[in-house]
Amino acid sequence: MDKLLNFLGLCRRAGKLTTGNDAVVETVVKGESKLVIVADDVSPNTEKKLKKICDTNEVKLIKLKRSKEELSLAIGRFAAVASVTDSGFAQNVEKLTQQEATVYDKI
The 3-class SS string of 55-69 reads HHCCCEEEECCCCHH
- The Cα 65–Cα 49 span in angstroms is 19
Collapsing DSSP to helix, strand or coil, 34 comes out as coil
pLDDT at 34 over 50: yes
pLDDT of 38: 94
- The Cα 12–Cα 5 span in angstroms is 11
Reported confidence tier of residue 20, pLDDT bands at 50, 70, 90 = very high
- The Cα 26–Cα 76 span in angstroms is 21
The domain spans of the chain are 3-104
**Homologous superfamily of the 3-104 domain (CATH):** Ribosomal protein L30/S12 (3.30.1330.30)
Please give the backbone phi and psi of residue 18, each rounded to the nearest 5 degrees, phi first. -105, 135
pLDDT in tens, 40-93: 999 999 999 999 999 999 999 999 888 999 999 999 999 999 999 999 999 999
pLDDT of 107: 39
What pTM was computed for the model? 0.89
